[in-house]
Structure 1
Amino acid sequence: MIQRREYDPAWRVHAADCPDAPPGAFVTTARAVYEAFPHDRPHRCLTKGYVSRNGAVVREQIHYEPHDWVPSTIVPADAIRALCRTCRGTRCANRGGPPVQVLPQTPSGLIIGRS
């Protein structure tokens, strides 16, 4: 069984050599960030190719204005509720009541053959 957890508000992820990346930030690999923080927001400097090559990235904290939790359509399998539409977290000022019981999304089992 999956252990459900709260998500902190998302940070922005930059390529390590991005001019907009915060100076002195901790550098790590794209895969490590994706596994630990799958809800983070990619900066425009990140491309699919860069991420697939597991390039060096840095995280930048985003300062969100105080807001109420508004559910998005993003529901990670281990999240206690849907992520917030504003900050992609579950720890907003008004969390919208008790945790929502969400089932992890599972594949349908449908196999589509190639023509």
Structure 2
Amino acid sequence: MQYTVNGTNFSWNYQISTNGYSWVIENPNGGFGGNYNLKVTTSVNGFGTTVDIKGVPKPANQQEFCGDADIKEQLPAGYVLNSCSFSGNTGNIAATVSANGFSVSYSVKYEYTPA
């Protein structure tokens, strides 16, 4: 980014990292229809962000987890699903997103614990 102050040009290269940030999402009306807390950890090129969601339902099996329309709808345009698995209380998704001539690989880990 470039800007001018009093006739002098300045360059500023800004980047915002969300690595290491953690968010908690709660519904003050009693949860989101389930008895589990969900920790979602997203990693892109080695950098991770965590979101904790309170009071969600847990998928019964891998087919329910990997075939869930809500999960697929959250994936961006241009994605390729490389793998999807779910066992016990943990689900994993690995994908690649391609846009504007470049590709980015990322993974998302879903960990369910009783509320």
- TM bin (shorter chain): under 0.3
Q: When the two structures are superposed, what TM-score results if normalisation uses the length of structure 2?
A: 0.21
Q: When the two structures are superposed, what TM-score results if normalisation uses the length of structure 1?
A: 0.21
Rg larger in 1 or in 2? 2
